Structure 1
């Protein structure tokens, strides 16, 4: 049988209370008792029960993270920063990869609740009434990272996706482009889908550039999606001079397709991405991209969730916007 705290106390010749104080790193413990207890723990190979300690503290020191797709470079990079920050704050992480499956997400949310996690970070924005109801009624803090909260009472850390897409499109217009194709995401995704599309539309409108529906495609943020949409654009009679993709993954898929057609980037067609993921500097030519501050997004998300857990109340400001910027590289040219 595994050693119990009572066995440690007997071996050290001290009370169970003294052992508990040592395990919880409480102050004002004599060095003599500390040495005795630590020696007994070592001899008995004693491991404290995490469940028992959690029940006593009313905390599990555990955070759940709902990730839409771990194969997406941006998501996996943000997750690694969140994990790094969680470790610094003493939290364990439970990662739930839902692969865009809402039934799976609901199952994970209930499982995290049963595990009594201290808080949850959600990194996507496709919901149904069941999930919205869970979020609205949940007792633990829930924070949205990189997306807007669908409910007013929850907290979000993100960039201004509408403004970022508008800035990206205006940058391309400033390079002289008028035939600007748009590779977008799911419009049900208010943050990365709808907001970025609206930014693109408004930038064209502000510059009095007619909207060409043939230059607009919607995919799922992945490389293969970008490749297939780019193929459709290249098989049209009129081709764009530049493609703006709302994820670097789709931008790279589009670049591969352009090269497969024997065309040059940026001499024949320019390409701009969104996120400034690891892909951006790995491909050739290096990809011009709208940068999301990945490290700041991950660290700030964990920091604010920690504050919500510690304070038990949310601040008046529900949305924290971090700055975005264009990373100019070799995939876009002036015409």
Structure 2
């Protein structure tokens, strides 16, 4: 059996209260008593219960994180940044990978409640009424990272996705491209789906460029999806001279498809990505991308959540970070 706190007290020859004070780092415990307690802990191999200590202190130092898909290079990078910021502030993460499963998300949020997390970070926006009601009932700080839900009662750390997609499309237009294809995301998503599609369409419209709907496809942000959507586009009689994909993963999939069809990037088709993930430097040619400040987004998310926890109040004030075009090798000027 695992040794208990009373066993430590017995071996050290002190009270359970004294052991508890030593474990919680309280002052006003004599040095000789601290030494006896620590020696007893080492002798017994005692490990204090995190849950028990949390109940006593009414503080768990736990943050629950809902991630839609950990296989995504974007989400894995932002999660790493969140974990680093959490660790620096002596917090631990409970990470739940829901694979876009709302029922699974509901289960995990109930687990968060049981574990008494002090705050929740959510990285997707498709929350239903049941989940929204549960979050409100829990009455703990919640913040969305990289997405903005329709419910304005929650704060988000985001970029202006509409403007970022507009600027990405505008850059391709400035390179002389007029036949610009589009590989979009899930149109149930306001942030990465609807807003980025609107930015693309309006950039074309504002520059009097015809939208060719045969060259528009929608995927799920993953490499395989980008490959399949690009394959469909290449079946058209009038293929685009450039394609804008709303995730780096889909852009890399599109590049692989172009290569497999004996075409070249960027000589035959220029490719623009979105996110600024590590894939941009790994791909060949290196991928031009509209970059989100992924590392900063994770750190800012954690800082904003900790501010809510410390102040013991929720917030619905969004934090909007700047996007940036990073030009690499996958896009070239189109000759007239």
- TM-score, scaled to structure 2: 0.95
Per-residue deviation, 1:333: 0.3
Backbone CA RMSD of aligned residues: 1.5
| 1:40-189 correspondence to structure 2 within 5 Å | 40-189=40-189
Q: Residue 31 of structure 2 corresponds to which residue in structure 1?
A: 31
Partners of 2:116 and 2:150 in 1: CA distance? 23
Partners of 1:154 and 1:235 in 2: CA distance? 43
Q: Residue 277 of structure 2 corresponds to which residue in structure 1?
A: 277
The answer (yes or no) to whether the contact 1:136–1:151 under 8 Å persists in 2 is no
Per-residue deviation, 1:111: 1.8
Q: Structure 2: give runs of 5+ residues left out of the alignment.
A: none
Q: Residue 301 of structure 1 corresponds to which residue in structure 2?
A: 301
Per-residue deviation, 1:156: 0.9
Q: Residue 214 of structure 1 corresponds to which residue in structure 2?
A: 214
Partners of 2:184 and 2:144 in 1: CA distance? 21
Partners of 2:33 and 2:55 in 1: CA distance? 26
Q: Residue 318 of structure 1 corresponds to which residue in structure 2?
A: 317
The answer (yes or no) to whether the contact 2:142–2:314 under 8 Å persists in 1 is no
Q: Structure 1: give runs of 5+ residues left out of the alignment.
A: none
Per-residue deviation, 1:179: 0.8
Partners of 2:36 and 2:202 in 1: CA distance? 71
Q: Residue 264 of structure 1 corresponds to which residue in structure 2?
A: 264
Partners of 2:89 and 2:199 in 1: CA distance? 37
Per-residue deviation, 1:299: 1.2
Per-residue deviation, 1:8: 2.2
Q: Residue 334 of structure 1 corresponds to which residue in structure 2?
A: 333
Structure 1 window deviating more from structure 2 (238-247 vs 17-26): it is 17-26
Per-residue deviation, 1:41: 1.4
User: SS at 1:253's partner residue?
Assistant: helix
Partners of 1:136 and 1:2 in 2: CA distance? 38
